[in-house]
Amino acid sequence: MQTSLVDWLRGQDDETLAALLRVRPDLAVPPPADLTVLATRAGIRASVQRACEELDTVALAVLEALVIAAAETTPADTGEVARLLGPDVPAGAVEAGLTALRDRALVWGPDDGVSLVPAAREVVPQYPGGLGRPASGAAAVDDLAGLLAQVSPEEQRVLGALVDGPPIGRSRGASDPSTPVGQLIARGLLLRVDTDTVEMPRQVGLALRGDHPMGAITLERPDVVTKDRDPATVDGTGAGAALEFLRRADLLIASWGHNPPGVLRSGGLGVRDLRRVAKDCDTDEATAALLVEVLRAADLLGETETTQPEWLPTTAADAWRASPDETRWAELARAWIDLPRLPGLVGRRDEADRPIAALSDAVRRPPAGRDRRRVLTALAELAPGRSVGSPAALADLLAWRAPRRGGRLRDDVVSWTIAEATALGLVALDALTTAGRVLLDPPSGNPAELSGVLYEALPAPIEHVLLQADLTAVAPGRLSPELAHELGVLADIESAGGASVYRFTEHSLRRALDTGRTAEDVRATLAARSATPLPQSLAYLVDDVARRHGRLRGGTAASFLRSDDEVLISEVLAHQAAAGLGLRRLAPTVAVSTLPLAEVLDGLRAAGFSPSAEDAGGAVLDLGEPGRRTEPRRRTRPGAAPEGPPARQAEDLVARMRSGDTLAGVRRSVADTAVAVRGSTTTLASLQDAARNRRHVWIGYVDAHGVAGERVLAPTTVGGGVVEGRDALDGMIRRVPLHRITSIAVVES
């Protein structure tokens, strides 16, 4: 007798069911009420297809063999499965494939009667094993071998073209009975699909293939050529790439802070703006797209909520830039690893043949983080310092492990992930760095440990530079944050790398003097921070710029007062209201204020003066209130999808399903004896009798929200309009108001 999936699940222990929920997490959302619900979900086509994405080549071949054996209708023997796979597939591989399918509840039952979920037929290829559909008629009789022995050489060539699959072919002679194709159709060795298309029946394909019914099956994992490298060299190279990525991030934040690009009407960043990012950051467009996507994910870039939105650095960017390099990098790496977007799509064409823009919704791919981890995990399986020969070889390995995973972008995602990880310093010389291994540890890499690993890989920061006579300073290594900031104020970076070069110019020195530094401060700083004497040419440049700096000064003013009467201006400035209005005299007949003109005039009128406003031409200006105004309506940008309920432990879900299963069994047993409650007197009497005789009672009720529920209670106290008892499923004390009970039945022990 065939066992159903729900009965098989009921016979498994809690550990097996918990493992099932872990390998197929979609079955637990929302939490199933009982094992019947779990079995129903496990057989849904979408869930089965998702489970098949995790299967390797061997397990998928076993699945196709079970479909060929029609195990979804009649349980199949594992011996038949092994025969279909052929003698080249060892018994251990067959058993491993069946185990993977059983672990995911795609098959169940003993080895002599393996059953398959019916939805499996819908998720395997249209022609499993390259075989056509079964046929009745001449091709299905016992004399099939005799029919095949009579085919002519021309007919044999036709059959040979279809035997390896796919079993479908097109021929203009399909409707002509005198052609080889027509004669094969007449004898049932081919089936006519339409006037020009024929199909080889499954029986014919199996007979022609002989000992290999499903053809050649690749069992051995692809060989990935690897190279051994010094782990210290890998980590050092990765650390250098990390610093370069941080430098470009600083350049981008500085650039967008002064010249922010606009947001496209459809959302995202324009092609020209992306090219400008690549130019400003001295990189290619692919790395520029990665840069803006990662900074956006780290909340260092954001979109303004204005009528004409722009991309701007966020307030968090200032605190981030002031942090140590290793801390800043750890934040970006953690933002990238789980980024639900594919920056590699930027620049490609969408379905409407339009270029995909960075920061747009078209780049969003929710499984991207999972696939990214999968690629890095494959690299982490190699010994530290060992690198893969090429991304293509790694893609072949991952394709063998999970052929149905990743879709048409599967191989592209592998190459994109390695390129992005290399730019971030997680991969160097095609090997995973120590920081990359730490990042893969849950949860998304410990920030302190991750930054500590990079700190150890980075060279020790230096506290000096080498000043040269050509007005440059050479940094012979990684500068300390304080020195790097100081040089960033005094000079412009000319080239970055292992030995960065800074150039002093009039513009850079004016920038330093604008911060309040004096010529003496600049010379003292350079002399203290340089391992070489201060060049005379640089000292002259500092003095020359300082001599001309500040001779012409500017300030801010929002309004002014003028009068031909100097005495009136003096009277206004001498009044006690002048201090509150921020008035300051610039000339005998002119005073300025930092307050708006309307506030200044109102204050003067309150002080007893009679001022008037004027426009740029000197004409009197009316500043009367034009009427009430409202702020422009801001369009609310769609936010992230709300998070689901907190994740429940698989063991807790199993316990709940067991309880639900028990409750469902009780419901079925009392279905004939359950009585609808028609009055509180009947309910009270039934519950009091159960409490006296220590019997369990099944109660159907409606809660305060109008939702129907049920419980099995052992009543202990009945009164005051409430029944209190111990729940038979979890042992907890429950209270149910009598007026909410809708039906009741005594449970026979």
Stretch among 253-257, 474-478, 644-648 having the lowest mean pLDDT: 644-648
pLDDT: is 651 or 140 the higher one?
651
Whether 635 and 642 have beta carbons less than 8 Å apart is answered as no
CA distance 683 to 691: 12
pLDDT for 625 equals: 53
Helices 231-258 and 325-337, axial angle in degrees (round to 10): 90
Q: Which residue has the higher pLDDT, 633 or 152?
A: 152
pLDDT digits (tens, 9 = 90+) for 534-578: 999 999 999 999 998 877 777 788 898 999 899 899 998 898 888
Q: Amino acid letter at 143?
A: D
Average pLDDT over residues 737-748: 83
C-alpha torsion sign, points 121, 127, 130, 132: positive
Return the ∠ at Cα 543 (arms to 538 and 544), rounded to 5°: 95
Pair 677, 744: CB distance under 8 Å:
yes
For 662, list phi and psi in degrees, rounded to 5. -60, -45
pLDDT at 65: 94
Percentage of the chain exceeding pLDDT 70: 93
Give the mean model confidence (pLDDT) for residues 263-281: 93
pLDDT greater than 70 at residue 631: no
- Of 538, 541, 543, give the one whose Cα is nearest residue 466: 538
CATH number (2.30.30.100, 2.60.120.10, 1.10.1060.10, 3.40.50.9100) of 670-746 reads 2.30.30.100
pTM, to two decimals = 0.72
Q: How confident is the model at residue 579 (pLDDT cuts 50, 70, 90)?
A: confident
Mention every residue, 6+ apart, whose C-beta is less than 8 A from residue 83: 213
The domains of the chain are located at 138-209, 226-457, 466-548, 559-610, 670-746
Q: Are 304 and 310 in contact (CB under 8 A)?
A: yes
The answer to whether residues 149 and 80 touch, using CB atoms and an 8 Å cutoff, is no
- List beta partners, residue 723: 718, 736
**Mean pLDDT for the stretch of residues 504-528:** 91
Hey, what amino acid is at 573? L
Q: Which tokens in the block code for residue 666?
A: 């009780």
> CB of 382 within 8 A of CB of 397?
no
Written as one letter, the residue type at 606 is A
Q: Is the sign of the CA dihedral 206, 212, 216, 222 positive or negative?
A: positive
pLDDT tens profile 134-191: 887 544 555 788 888 888 999 899 898 899 888 998 887 777 888 888 888 888 888 8
Q: Write down the architecture of domain 138-209 according to CATH.
A: Orthogonal Bundle (1.10)
- Give φ, ψ of 374 to 5 degrees: -65, -40
Reply yes or no on whether the pLDDT at 677 is more than 70.
Answer: no
- pLDDT (mean) for 351-373: 92
Cα–Cα dist 583/561, whole Å: 9
Are 680 and 688 within 8 A, CB to CB? no
User: Among 61-65, 301-305, 339-343, 550-554, where is mean pLDDT lowest?
Assistant: 550-554
Per-residue confidence at 351, pLDDT binned at 50, 70, 90?
A: confident
Average pLDDT score over the chain: 86
User: What torsion do the CA atoms of 12, 15, 17, 20 make, to the nearest 10 degrees?
Assistant: -130
Alpha-helical runs (H) found in 515-630: 519-529, 536-548, 566-574, 577-581, 597-606
pLDDT average, residue stretch 62-89: 92
- The mean per-residue pLDDT over the stretch 384-393 comes to 90
Q: Taking residues 362-383, report their average pLDDT.
A: 93
Q: Is the pLDDT of residue 305 over 60?
A: yes
For residue 630, pLDDT beyond 60: no
pLDDT in tens, 404-452: 887 778 889 999 999 999 999 999 999 999 999 999 986 545 788 888 8
pLDDT band at 669 (very low <50, low <70, confident <90, very high): confident
Length of the chain: 749
Closest listed residue to residue 384, CA positions, set 435, 460, 444, 443: 435
pLDDT for 97-127, tens place per residue?
999 999 999 999 998 999 999 999 999 998 9
Please answer whether residues 745 and 720 qualify as being in contact, where contact means their C-beta atoms are separated by less than 8 angstroms.
Answer: no
Nearest 5°: phi and psi at 736? -130, 120
Q: Report the alpha-carbon distance of residue 208 to residue 70 in Å, rounded.
A: 20
